[in-house]
Structure 1
Amino acid sequence: MKKNLFISWNIRGLGSLDKKAAVKRLVQKLKPSVLFIQESKLQVVNDRIFSRICGNFLNLKMVFSGSAGAAGGLISLWDPNFFECESSWIGLSFIVLLGKFVGSNIKCVLVNVYAPSLVEDRKELFVELIAKLENLKSSLIIGGDFNTVRDRSKRLGVSFNKRASGDFVDFIEALGLSDMPPHGSQFTWSNYRDAPSFSRLDRFLVSDNILVLWPDLFQQVLPKSISDHNPVCLSCIGDCWGPRPFKWFESTLDSLEYVDLIVQTCSGSSSIGIMPLLSECKKSD
């Protein structure tokens, strides 16, 4: 499979030429396989806007959800040589693309999310997405601005809402998603005030079978430019973005064959410590 790169960015308005040029630079430089844009603040995305944000990278396909006045607006773009979109669901706060990865017949659902700022509205969105996605027999990759954090440590200089965090955690757990630790920065949004605030509002969430498909998957917070949100990148390109995490799935323990492998490996090993032993088990698998 070709190298893959997913990018999500809350651009905070695509009306100005500077914002369009910033997206174009990102597309031209990184050539993403999938690009999710939130808060375009555009009711219509026409061919002229498409060409301004894609430049000469015009092989991308596009679906958009128009803004409600000057609020919201989503754009999802993808490379048809990487992902074959078979159908889509479009709402005010999400775009769902149903299809498969080209050349692999692996079914996948790609979801672009811009969650509402109000707690009750955001919970309604999570409930709606769970109802739409939980029974699909497909891998999930969900990216966007969730407008909330998972725990208190992901906010600095701004109040923490425990209830809102709980709703988000329930959403992640209901769909069996993994939230990989970010590289580059712990936060994806900050204000420009004298007393700054920071939050991790933007991220990708993936189902465990995506991690099996791409064991080298990384989540990277890219440098901030023209928006108060950082772009977030999901990639399994072999760049050195830090030490590779050891991935362990509890379902592994359901396999008696794998349990026997662990026992045999550990019995015949002279290594001391859990990480060396786990690494040997991984090599023996």
Structure 2
Amino acid sequence: MDFSFISWNVRGLGKFEKLGAVRSLIRKEKPSFILLQETKLEQFSPVILRGMGYYQGCNSIFVPAIGSAGGLLSVWKTDFFSITDTVLDRRFIAIFGKAQGCELNCGILNVYGPLTEAEKPEFFRHLLDFINSHRVAWIVGGDFNAYLCREEKIGMACNFKTMDRFRNFLDETQLVDLPMQGGCYTWSSNREVPTFVRLDRFLICEELLANFHNLNQILLPKSVSDHNAIALKCECIGWGPKPFKLFNYMLEIEGFEELISNSVESVKRKNGRVGILNILRGVKTDIKAWSKVQKLSNRDLISETEAEISRLEVDCQKGVIVQNCGRQ
């Protein structure tokens, strides 16, 4: 089963650059289900889906924002998930049904918790009652605007009451918070002395973990939001290397024609009289090696830039940790 979920507080989906960032994320990660929070959209149309890169073979459910606050959007592949029911709330979208290749009745919950501390007790009570009233295999993802322990926040004071409420919520729902790979925090203040917090996560029921042993929760590189997207993935079978592709732009790069000429002559020298098939194989090998050296892929360059940003942010977090330890 192609089991892949993404959750992201996108901080507004109405602008072109936000749609482009979501589209790039979907093309790269190819999720079966994507949960977006804080869309800040009061209305929704198929134009938004097309801007995200979805043209057909998908379905969606939308909760409008109130003014410019909130807003939720869940999108999934129709061949992955068959719906039996839905429930819409200001703070969550619940979708019930079955995933392809899974006999469990599932509930997919897209959550956006309140910012103000006064609203959080009622939010967790309501969410707890809702989850415990449905006997399904839960996948709960989103921005809870809460964290579980002191280690999940750097900078400013911790709110211990909300931490206790969140931990009690996990105990009473028996949901599992998987370790997050790739980083510790999902939100930063982006200030000179930054605050880092883990506000976003997936919570999984034990029944699903018993059926899918290789589930991983992964922090994805930061993009146009102050929140990182997170992914929930099940390790899949590797089908080997991708097929060889020759792109037109390669033909225009200086040195490409010389590479082909030298490659053909090299194959002839090594093999004497040789057929066209062996020449093509030799040229293909040389092009693949050359393209890696030249770093021709724009996607590779983007990935390298995102990785460098993540590295710098981790270094910054370590600096803040050292500074805080020095103060203590």
Structure 1 match to 2:136: 138
- 1:191 aligns with 189
Matched, 1:22 2:16: no
What are structure 2's unaligned runs of at least 5 residues? 239-328
Compute the displacement of 1:208 (Å). 0.4
Q: Secondary structure at the match of 1:106?
A: coil
State the AA in 1 paired with 2:210: V
Report how far residue 49 of structure 1 moved: 1.0
Q: CA deviation at 1:55?
A: 4.1
- The range that moved more, 230-239 or 137-146, is 230-239
Separation in structure 1 between the aligned mates of residue 10 and residue 98 of structure 2, nearest angstrom: 27
Map 1:40-119; keep pairs closer than 5 Å: 40-56=39-55, 58-119=56-117
Deviation of 1:238 (Å): 4.1
Q: Secondary structure at the match of 1:54?
A: coil
Matches within 5 A, 1:1-20: 2-20=1-19
Per-residue deviation, 1:31: 1.3
Counterpart in 1 of 2:205?
207
**Structure 1 position 192, deviation (Å):** 1.3
Offset at residue 51 of structure 1 (A): 0.9
Pick closer, same or farther for the CA change 1:158–1:239 going to 2, 3 Å.
farther
- SS of 2:27's partner is helix
* Mapped pair 1:37 → 2:36: yes
Superposition map of 1:99-248 within 5 A: 99-238=97-236
- Decide whether the 8 Å contact of 1:88 with 1:98 is kept in 2: yes
Q: In 1, Cα distance between the equivalents of 2:226 and 2:110?
A: 19
What is the rounded CA distance, in whole Å, between the counterparts of 2:237 and 2:128 in structure 1? 34
Partner amino acid, structure 2, of 1:11 = V
- Inter-partner Cα distance in structure 2 for 1:123 and 1:102: 36
Q: Tell me the amino acid that sits aligned with residue 22 of structure 1.
A: A
Q: Computing the radius of gyration over CA atoms, which structure comes out larger, 1 or 2?
A: 2
Deviations, residues 30-86 of structure 1 (Å, cap 9, x unaligned): 111110000000011111111101344x32210010000000000001112111111
Rounded to whole Å, the distance in 2 between the matches of 1:194 and 1:103 is 48
- How far apart are residue 118 of structure 1 and its match? 1.5
Gaps of 5+ in 1: 241-285
Distance 1:120 1:166 in 2: 15
8 Å CA contact 1:60–1:78 kept in 2: the answer is yes
Distance in 2, Cα, partners of 1:122 & 1:99: 28
Deviations 1:82-107 (A, max 9, x none): 11111111111100111112343310
In structure 2, the partner of 1:266 is: none
> Paired residue for 2:243?
none
The 8 Å contact of residues 141 and 202 in structure 2, kept in 1 or not, is answered as yes
> What CA distance in whole angstroms lies between the structure 2 residues aligned with 1:113 and 1:96?
9
Structure that is richer in helix per residue: 2
Change (3 A) 1:70 1:137: same
Fraction of identical pairs, as percent = 36
Using the size of structure 2 for normalisation, the TM-score is: 0.70
Structure-1 residue corresponding to 2:275: none
- Contact 2:2-2:236 within 8 A present in 1 as well: no
